[in-house]
Structure 1
Amino acid sequence: MEMVMDRVKLSRIDEELDSSEVSALCFLCCDVVTRKRQEGVRDAKDLFLRLDEKGLLENSVFLSQLLHTIGRADLLSLLETDSRRAEETDASPLLSDYRVMLYEIYQNMTQMNFEKMKFLLDGKLDKVRLEACKTALDVFGEMERKSLLSNQNLDLLHTILQELDQQLATTVLQHKQRLTQPAAPPHVSMDHQRVIDTLQPTPPSMSISETEPSYERERVYSDAHRHIEPPSPPDQTDYYTLRHKPRGLCVVFNNEIFLTGLGKRAGSDKDETTLRELFSQLGFTVKVHSNLSANEMREEVNNLSKRDFSKEDLLVVCVLSHGLKGSVYGTDEEEVWIRELTLPFRSGQAPTLAGKPKLFFIQACQGNDYQRGSVPYPPRPSQESLVQRSRLEEDAGYIQEETVPWDADFLLGMATVEEYKSFRHTSNGSIYIQELCKQLRRSAESPEMDDILSVLTRVNREVSKGVYLNHKQMPEPKYTLTKKLVLKFV
């Protein structure tokens, strides 16, 4: 958006923000507008002028991220310009995960803990300046001035928070974990249903800041921690046997280009590549089918069910496509029921798979609704109750039958619960598949014996924490597994 064109809108946003919210915005912007340049900022309008000097108001992305973070998504409607679709961009968000983390701590800190924090910092910070601090954000700023706090120097903050609130200390640990992981791509879209109403304008797409917190708890021990005998080895009868090389077959159906009404699934090639690399490392033979019609998908599945799996331990099938409740689409825009994909592999039809795990991962929308989020108590800025309606690419279709597998040893991992849409980065892959591969890789590299259900629970947690173009996503695993399945690199 052009600054000149939108001064009225920015002025309206300024009128809605109180002084504490303006202070929070200034803190979040410290990495792009120095504290020196923030001197003299009296209200949000002054801050907007500083941001415009840096070219950060050329579109609404950065300001949208700021408003999301301070819990003022209700003001996003003031940023709407026209109904034309914006050009997609792969530019990374400028809002710092480090500052968002500090803001989250500030939001969840009680007044009592704030006073304790100031007491613990007495002697480390200038006494007069410390006493002048009215909020935790002020204290964080003073710590940064004294080089006691930065994105790479979180030890003192973590030590202090351990004395105050273990959950706040965990927030710092989770951020430190994320520093060692690749950053999440910012551009998000959804796997869209049919585009047939040409008279209805398409609202602009948006890039968002998407943090990817790790919720795997870290263990912290003192140097005097006594030696504990390791637990006894697990009962192997509780686990599926994986002894063959290759472990099994991983089949990927990647439907990216459709005939007419369904939009191209940009970014699906990234999912294909990630799945291929991961399952190859896990010891699978990987086979990819690209852009198949509905009948071609059925034919490939039926042929696959006749395969001799006696020298393989399991089967994995991944479907990347558009879809609706209980179905996915072929490239001819005809539906294939998910039950049509799973039923040919029941013990009666595929006897060499009897007693072996059969995993199906479906990246597709399962309805036309947008998943909403509710604000917990106390509220956190990363979760919102207000959802702004946006048109995104959706993998959606006709609503019919239940997709729960009937027989034993099946697992069906859905990108979203029924009735709702799922999201996809247009150049970096879908939210669900990328998180699934990330968690499978982490489990494969870990000495822990994390089974597939523990992995999928972490996927649920990671994906559900995000906010994607003002909406939420909730994956859903369904299973009839009879043992634990642990996948490690071979």
Structure 2
Amino acid sequence: MERRKLMEISEALASSEVAALCFLCRDNVSHLSEVNDAKVLFSRLEERDCQNPEFLHQLLHTIRRNDLLSLLKGNRQNVEETDANPIGKLSNYRVMLYQIYDETTKEDLQKMKFLLNDKIGRRQMDECSTALDVFVELEKVGLLSQSDLQALHSILMEVNRQLASTVEQFAQGAPVEAASPPPARPLNGFQHVNNSPLESISETGASNDGGHFPSDAETNPEPSSLSDQTEYYAMNHIPHGVCVIINNEEFLVKELTKRGGTQADERALDSLFSKFGFQVIVYSNLTAAEIRRELKDIATRNFSEDDALVVCVLSHGAKGCVHGTDGETVSLQELTQPFTSGFVPTLAGKPKLFFIQACQGKAFQTGFLPWSSKPREVAEDTRNQVETDAGPIPDETVASDADFLLGMATVPDCKSFRNTNTGSIYIQELCKQLRRSAVSPQGEDILTVLTRVNREVSRGVFLNAKQMPQPKYTLTKTLILRFADEDQVKLS
């Protein structure tokens, strides 16, 4: 490898990226904790015969510095089977840990450090500035290795279950794809693999006799259909299932104002999911008790001939919950729990989509438009018509069962916005992007669509504030929604 090119690469790397590269190379080169210069790292790799273009390509690709890969062109062609050399191969274990680090928020890191104070020591935890530092400390005290992921999994289950799922996938033998965007890649189902380093951990961290991770898709050891063995959810029936819309506009308590514009959301959702081939059921102005009762009643349905379930809730809300018209709350867990496989076996392994248009707190998000100021101008022209769906309710939690997708209009603690004439910002953008994907020749999956919804909504400015939607999911396959044949829908 030409030293001139190595020099160019090293000068282009930030200190945090050098630290990440050192972490990824810990299985190949020892004593890298004090290295903060990429040139020193490359020299160490050269001493260990690891400084080949293929290995460097893996490293740069993992930390998403694809802009530097062009410097390696012309060198990789001369490399033969470098993956056969264990010294020059990037560890999937390291890549998995890097993925967790890459998706760890500051809040996640603080929780992680707090939980580890008694296991590692407060001084060591205070010196950890990133999740990679935490992983190194765990390895030092023998609580983390490629063959022992139990402690890490247990901690992440308390910190962020989405991060824990990355450990689960690795433990179950799922391929590790460095630098793959998470929204474009569905989660794999948790099936038992012999000698898995996590085979004794259950969903709650306790052991279970089955030796595997239970998921909403598992009701028996045998696949229920051939489609369960594919990467895509089967959408073979017409109708595909029911789409429930709960639309609360008028409220019985003065603290919760009328939600003007929500009828536009109802019409958009009704039209869209009817075209997708769902039977749409609309409920208007339900109290909290009525919301629970209607959802439990729908859960008694036989879903054997259904492909999926969709539930849309349009109401005021607060963190972790939505309001009934009486001002009482229904937690997000209460919305989803009636449809888990324990209660509805005929929905096991089938996608359950929940879209929630409601505030999740009283805070306004601040931020800056990434590109032009056009969204700001549009928002300012209609600023007198924009409202929020906030309410004064305490925190709740959300269950994390397989094959669920929870599309939230906003992140926790923050407000969402609604135009009193044209409908809510989130629902209208969601319908727009789903319609767009339905006619896309290549067929876009639901997570790609929701990523685009995130981008478009976050560009706007509403009441001098921002809005950031948040999808949460435990889907185990790719879901693509297409417009159904209109004649079939009418006949059904």
Q: Tell me: higher relative CO, structure 1 or 2? Use CA pairs within 8 A at least 6 residues apart.
A: 1
TM-score, normalised with respect to structure 1: 0.49
TM-score, normalised with respect to structure 2: 0.49
